Amino acid sequence: MGSINKTSKLMRGLAAVGGAFALTLAISPVASAQAANSTPASQTYQVNLSAVNNSGVTGTATLTLTGNSLRVNMRATGASANLAHATHIHVGGAASCPTPSADTDKDKYVSAKEAEASTGPMKVSLTTSGDTGTGSALAVDRMPKADAKGNITYDRTFTLPSGVTAADMSKATIDVHGISSLFDDKAKYDGSKKSELDNKIAFETTVPAACGKLTSTPTSGAATGAGSTSGIESPALFAIGGAALLAAVATAIVARKQFSATE
């Protein structure tokens, strides 16, 4: 009878080990899921900037959206040298860039207003400092400035302005404005033709020079199932599973010793 009791204890100990091991395995995906859900997923967008109004401006941009934080990294060439270029994110419209047919008033240029039929209204100002909302649309002094060779470099992380959502990024474009070579002095924005956005500003300041549509790329990280969740599991949950496993192993060892003594 004693031998049967010892064997029974040994079996219970082994069963406890198996149960604790199963508990640890069950906790692992739960912990990983909780950790993944607590970290906002990032979405990346690529942009190829093409010239508008025969400006010769081209470039690329990468936008990374994490929660409501947006990082914009843009490079462009062929821009008006040593001048600031008003740059915006437009949302809505046809979610595309304007073609020459957008020149509805037949003045040979696609203006900022005419372009909005394709790009939608301006929602985010890509300023180098301060506000990034619609109120800074014409804050040219805080916009990216081209160097002496006409190269533009822009890299800034900021919170999306009020009223702009992550969903808006799927139907957005980046527009770069400013072509100083249209009239008179080619080294500055001048000419008698005024901007339809502000009649105190030269048309050259706000005329679209380049445009590109945001194209989403596959989201990386645990949220999409791509990549490892190693290192993000919940320590508390694993501590529970580990403690249960150790206790069960100790029980099995004691039961085994008792069984061996009986033998």
46 and 105 together in one domain: yes
124 and 212 together in one domain: yes
233 and 184 together in one domain: no
What domain range includes position 31?
15-39+229-262
Tokens 């445009």 map to which residue? 211
76 and 136 together in one domain: yes
What CATH number should be reported for the domain holding residue 170? 2.60.40.200
122 and 252 together in one domain: no
Alpha carbons 174 and 176: distance in angstroms, whole number? 7
Task: Tell me, yes or no, whether 111 lies in a domain.
Answer: yes
Yes or no: say if 84 and 141 are a contact pair by the CB < 8 Å rule.
Answer: yes
61 and 184 together in one domain: yes
129 and 151 together in one domain: yes
For the segment 129-156, what is each residue's pLDDT rounded down to a tens digit?
A: 999 999 999 999 999 999 999 999 999 9
Task: Tell me, yes or no, whether 10 lies in a domain.
Answer: no
60 and 189 together in one domain: yes
256 and 188 together in one domain: no
190 and 211 together in one domain: yes
Alpha carbons 245 and 247: distance in angstroms, whole number? 6
For the segment 76-116, what is each residue's pLDDT rounded down to a tens digit?
A: 999 999 999 999 999 998 999 999 999 999 999 999 999 99
Supply φ then ψ for residue 160, to 5 degrees.
-55, 135
3-state SS of 56-88 is: CCEEEEEEEEECCEEEEEEEEECCCCCCECCEE
Task: Tell me, yes or no, whether 224 lies in a domain.
Answer: no
149 and 251 together in one domain: no
Q: How many domains does the chain have?
A: 2
Task: Tell me, yes or no, whether 223 lies in a domain.
Answer: no
Radius of gyration of the chain (CA): 31
Tokens 């500055």 map to which residue? 188
Alpha carbons 94 and 238: distance in angstroms, whole number? 50
Task: Tell me, yes or no, whether 196 lies in a domain.
Answer: yes
pTM over 0.75: no
Task: Tell me, yes or no, whether 96 lies in a domain.
Answer: yes
24 and 73 together in one domain: no
- State the pLDDT at residue 186: 94
Residues (pLDDT < 70) of the chain are 1-39, 219-263
- State the pLDDT at residue 217: 87
Task: Tell me, yes or no, whether 124 lies in a domain.
Answer: yes
Cβ atoms within 10 Å, residue 215: 11
Task: Annotate the chain with DSSP letters as a single string.
Answer: -HHHHHHHHHHHHHHHHHHHHHHHHHHHHHHHHHHHHHSPPEEEEEEEEEESTT---EEEEEEEEETTEEEEEEEEESPPTT-B--EEEEESTTSS---GGG-TT-SSS--HHHHHHHH--EEEE--SSS--SGGGTT-GGGS-B--TTS-EEEEEEEEPPTT--GGGGGGEEEEEE--TTSSS-TTSS--SPBPSS-TTSBHHHHSEEEEEE-EEEPPPSGGGT-S--TT-S-HHHHHHHHHHHHHHHHHHHHHHHHHHHH-
Task: Tell me, yes or no, whether 110 lies in a domain.
Answer: yes
